[in-house]
Amino acid sequence: MPEKNHSPMSQILKGIAENGTPARTEVLEELASLGCDTDALLARARAIIEDHKRSNRRQWIDVAKARQAQAESIAQKVTDWGKKTVAEVETAFQQVLNGAFGQSAAVAFRNKSAITVEEKRVLLESLDILSNLPDSTREPSRQDDAADT
């Protein structure tokens, strides 16, 4: 294996740094004078570049599919509060006020007892979504922030 300073790529970069970027025709003429099939070299370089582009697109698609699957998984776990009876909504909201989703949620909604049933449904659904999010997507709680200082 060639030494790092004598590798073909380092020689190319050294030449560009010392002499600036040569014109396309100069590069092709020099490669041809060295016995290189420039058409085949260009075709191979283009194929490598296209392969890398395709690979990057596939990686992006894989990430998007994973995120979509995660979102669909969360959506399946969330209760449809719109289909619940008024009594069920009221009971669940009272449980929130009693600390079912933690003290911070209970404190946040303690002055919300006079809101409409529809608003309670929206709040319950939001809490449900938040409770199903993976830990890595949640913001740190204020208690965590206080512990860091």
Tens digits of residue pLDDT in 40-95: 988 999 999 999 998 888 888 999 999 899 888 888 888 888 899 999 999 988 88
**What is the model's pTM?**
0.46
Q: Is 48 helix (H, G, I), strand (E, B) or coil?
A: helix
For residues 32 and 83, membership in a common domain is answered with no
Q: Is there a domain that residue 122 lies in?
A: yes
Question: What distances in angstroms separate CA 136 from CA 70, 128, 130, 140, one per listed residue?
Answer: 12, 17, 12, 10
Q: Is there a domain that residue 56 lies in?
A: no
Q: Is there a domain that residue 149 lies in?
A: no
Q: Is 82 exposed, middle or buried (0-12, 13-18, 19+ CB in 10 A)?
A: exposed
Q: Is there a domain that residue 146 lies in?
A: no
Range of the domain at 115: 74-135
Q: Is there a domain that residue 55 lies in?
A: no
Q: Is there a domain that residue 118 lies in?
A: yes
Total domains, the chain: 2
For residues 79 and 129, membership in a common domain is answered with yes
For residues 44 and 79, membership in a common domain is answered with no
